Amino acid sequence: MKLFEVFLRAKSGLSHKHVGSVHATDADMAMQNARDLYTRREEGESIWVVDSTQIVSSNPTNKDAYFAPAEDKIYRHPSFYPFDKEVKNI
Amino acid sequence: MYSQGLRDSKAGEDSQELLDAFQVRIDNEEKIEPRDWMPQAYRKTLIRQISQHAHSEIVGQLPEANWVTRAPTLKRKLILLAKIQDEAGHGLYLYSAAETLGESFQKMYQDLLTGKAKYSSIFNYPTLNWADAGAVGWLVDGAAIMNQVALCRTSYGPYSRAMVRVCKEESFHQRQGYDIMIKMAQGTPKQKAMAQDALNRTWWPSLMMFGPSDKDSTHSDQSMKWKIKRFSNDDLRQKFIDATVPQAEYLGLTIPDKNLKYNDKTGHYDFSEIIWDELFDVIKGNGPCNQQRMDARNKAHNDGAWVREAAAAYAEKQNNRKEVA
């Protein structure tokens, strides 16, 4: 049995979101199981199942090296540029 | 509740520095995610607790399955089937959460089948009359919700997310149970007597679901410190009693406890001391249905062997075809 991760789109206009995982011998069975397990109450209208070994993820021990550089770049945010009230529509 | 059979787990052999840093994260209400560093004892406690919780959901299907073919109407039968399917689903959410900690589903399930792993003591009691299906939903699922709502805020991310899903579904379980109780309690005198009988038998085992009293609960302190548990056994039990007594009054049924009385000073109900020997005896395997439950689980697993083998053979065949093509 392989482990598959399950993603659901709640309704059109939204993106697929991770909801959990299922075991299955192949992708078809994973899809069936995901449907039975995660959509009993109309939680979604589209399912992705992904073989969990195919997912590449960042390493939590590199978290700072990866994400900390964004912390001190506040000039990337619009709130970094305050103007007088007279300046409108910007 | 799902840690009834756990041994004491102390912080293991991790360095003090890492343990302190971990505690800071916990104290800051950060959630711990699967690949984050965590103390060995934290991991171990969670694997035991989550798998035991999963086992409880799976074995919890059995007392109710008893009534699927005998539910009084087609509607009740459909509802009961949906509820049982939910319980299987809850088991699967939880096994998945435990797997993120590095324990395999096969290993956990094997531990259940061999009797090495525990599950909630409540499911070792029989469901003797149709009102039991009501009492189980109302009281057993009610007690479970009390515990699981608290667990939605547990510090381990995947466990907490599984609990959020479970709680949404569990509320249906409790309400359908209470709905059965209303019908029975407002029915003929004989039906009302069945409802009272179900309450009499289910009340004390439901209170035991919350686990030993705080003064005897050996593993609680560390679990509270790591915010695996957010409330003590006794606090949750009291909350459950306070919520449930008025519901029994509405049904016109009597809680089987002569000392049950509202205490104006504390704002809570006082109640009799629980017979703890019964709980420990059931956990040890001497409840009325322990053997029956284990036999049923093993039989279902063995009877399903050919399905698993066929699925594996089919997947292999498909794979070989792909390689050839």
Per-residue pLDDT reduced to its tens digit, B152-193? 999 999 999 999 999 989 999 999 999 999 999 999 999 999
Picking from A29, A37, A57, the nearest residue to B89 by CB comes out as: A37
**What's the average model confidence in pLDDT over B2-13?**
54
Q: Look over chain B and give the mean of its residue pLDDT values, rounded to a whole number.
A: 93
Q: What is the pLDDT of residues B246-300, one digit of tens each?
A: 999 999 999 999 999 999 999 999 999 999 999 999 988 899 999 999 999 999 9
What is the pLDDT, as a whole number, of residue B142?
Answer: 96
Checking if the pLDDT of B216 tops 60, the result is: yes
Is A39 inside a domain boundary?
A: yes
Which residues in chain B are closer than 8 Å to A26, comparing Cβ atoms? 314-315, 318
What is the number of structural domains in chain A? 1
Share of chain B above pLDDT 90, in %: 88
Q: What is the CATH number of the domain that holds A22?
A: 3.10.20.520
Domain membership flag for residue A34: yes
- pLDDT of B9 > 90? The answer is no
Res B10 pLDDT > 70: no
- A46 is in which domain, residue-wise? 1-54
How far is residue A82's CA from residue A61's CA, in Å, rounded to a whole number? Answer: 37
Task: Examine residue A40 and state whether it is found in any structural domain, yes or no.
Answer: yes
Question: Which pLDDT score is estimated for B6?
Answer: 53
Comparing CB atoms, the residue among B36, B86, B96 nearest residue A21 is B96
A19, A25, A49, A52, best to mutate vs chain B, most B CBs in 10 Å = A25
A49 part of a folded domain: yes
DSSP at B80? H
Whole-number pLDDT of residue A45: 95
- Asked if the structure places residue A36 within a domain, the reply is yes
Which of chain B's residues have a Cβ under 8 Å away from the Cβ of A61?
37
Q: Which two tokens stand for residue B171?
A: 């509320």
Whether pLDDT at A12 is above 90: yes
**E strand segments, B140-273:** 261-263, 268-270
Looking at residue B11, what is its pLDDT? 47
CA distance B127 to B150: 28
User: From the list B96, B105, B312, which residue is nearest A25 (CB)?
Assistant: B312
β-pair partners for A3: A23
Measured CB to CB, residues of chain B less than 8 Å from chain A are 33, 35-37, 82, 85-86, 89, 92-93, 96, 99, 105, 161-162, 165, 168-169, 311-312, 314-315, 318
Which of the four pLDDT bands, split at 50, 70 and 90, describes residue B2? low
Residue A89: inside a domain: no
* Whole-number pLDDT of residue B324: 80
Would you state the structure tokens that stand for residue B299, as one six-digit string?
């039989």
Distance from CA of A23 to the nearest CA of B (A): 9
For B34, the closest chain A residue by CA position comes to A60
For residue A67, tell me if it sits in a domain. Answer: no
Per-residue pLDDT tens digits for A46-84? 999 999 999 999 888 888 888 988 889 999 999 999 999
Domain for residue A27, yes or no? yes
Burial of residue B124, with CB atoms counted within 10 A of its CB: 0-12 exposed, 13-18 middle, 19 or more buried:
buried
